[in-house]
Amino acid sequence: MAWRSSAASNRGLIENLAKNGLIKGQPESAKPFSKVDRAHYAPSTPYDDSPQPIGHHATISAPHMHANAVEALLPFILPSDARPAPRVLDVGSGSGYLTHVMAELVGDQGGVVVGVEHIAALKELGEGNVRRSEEGRRFLEAGRVRFRVGDGRKGWVEPGEEAMKWDAIHVGAAAVEVHAEMLEQLNAPGRMFIPVDDDTSQLGQHIFWVDKDKDGKVTRTKQYGVRYVPLTDAPKGK
Ligand code: SAH
């Protein structure tokens, strides 16, 4: 499934992802991908279905991984009567691509996506990339998408919004565990999409869905093997 979706244009890439069954929840999940040009985020071959380096040992994840993450989190990102203003946290926002795509989905009734990066230069990169489109600029001005510098292993609490939890948490780098603070900040109900390096099994990294139901009961479901850059301490001086 990994590399078949490459194309010569953003539209072709999204069409191929849909054709290959990687974007299933049409039209809701395909629409935001078509609205965000990956060329604003990937420095080279933006329409290849592969990860690309973006500096500072970070990579923009492959389109099929972004598609898969959105599919997984979609029920918690889309506004509904019960959740008119979804709140989404993107840990390790890197290029800002997925942060922007998710901001397309949260609606305009107060939905928010916050990207957290531990490298200030990458926080600036992500924010600058979002600024490259008119819609991105509008989202930034409205506070619908926000970029912050911090250690995402602690999750993130927005100043002035301390009581508010996250309906969906996307983690874009591999964690050694499901960090307690992140889990505490997940709403009930809510879902976290997180690559975890499962050392104990020696089987390497896997995507986990960590679901909290309305009563706060947590269920972890192991999905499939992946290779993400690790969630680490910030390099010194960054
Ligand atoms: N979703 C991003 C992925 C970028 S790669 C994209 O597709 O562009 C993973 C990112 O996680 C890197 O940018 C890295 O700097 C960041 N990261 C690693 N450890 C972190 C931490 N402890 N807190 C916040 N960000 C972290």
Q: What is the pLDDT of residue 202?
A: 65
Q: What is the pLDDT of residue 4?
A: 76
pLDDT at 1 over 60: no
pLDDT at 20 over 70: yes
Q: How much distance in Å is there from the Cα of 236 to the middle of ligand 1?
A: 16
Q: How much distance in Å is there from the Cα of 159 to the middle of ligand 1?
A: 21
Instruction: Determine which of 7-16, 53-62, 102-111, 189-198 has the lowest per-residue pLDDT on average.
Output: 7-16
Catalytic residue among 6, 9, 44, 61: 61
Q: What is the pLDDT of residue 173?
A: 96
For residue 151, the ligand 1 atom closest to its alpha carbon is 23
Q: What is the pLDDT of residue 94?
A: 98
Asked whether 65 lines ligand 1 (CB < 6 A), one says no
Q: Ligand 1: which residue has its CA nearest to atom 19?
A: 231
Give the three-state DSSP class for 59.
strand
Asked whether 98 lines ligand 1 (CB < 6 A), one says yes
Asked whether 40 lines ligand 1 (CB < 6 A), one says no
pLDDT at 144 over 90: yes
Asked whether 97 lines ligand 1 (CB < 6 A), one says yes
CA dist 128 to 112, 134, 173, 188, 193, Å? 18, 12, 21, 33, 25
Q: Which residue(s) pair with 170 in the sheet? A: 90, 193
Instruction: Determine which of 77-81, 211-215, 221-225, 234-238 has the lowest per-residue pLDDT on average.
Output: 234-238
Q: How much distance in Å is there from the Cα of 81 to the middle of ligand 1?
A: 32
Q: How much distance in Å is there from the Cα of 82 to the middle of ligand 1?
A: 31
Run of H or E residues at 98: helix 97-105
Measured distance CA(191)–CA(210) in Å, rounded? 6
Is the Cα dihedral 46, 176, 70, 127 positive or negative? negative
Q: What is the pLDDT of residues 155-174, one digit of tens each?
A: 999 999 999 999 999 999 99
Q: What is the pLDDT of residue 88?
A: 98
Domains of the chain plus CATH, in order, are 61-225 (3.40.50.150)
Q: What is the pLDDT of residue 18?
A: 86
- Percent of the chain having pLDDT more than 70? 94
Q: What is the pLDDT of residues 189-230, one digit of tens each?
A: 999 999 999 766 667 899 999 999 999 999 999 999 998 989
Please state whether the predicted TM-score (pTM) of the whole model is above 0.85. yes
Q: Give the tokens for residue 87.
A: 């709140």
For residue 170, the ligand 1 atom closest to its alpha carbon is 1
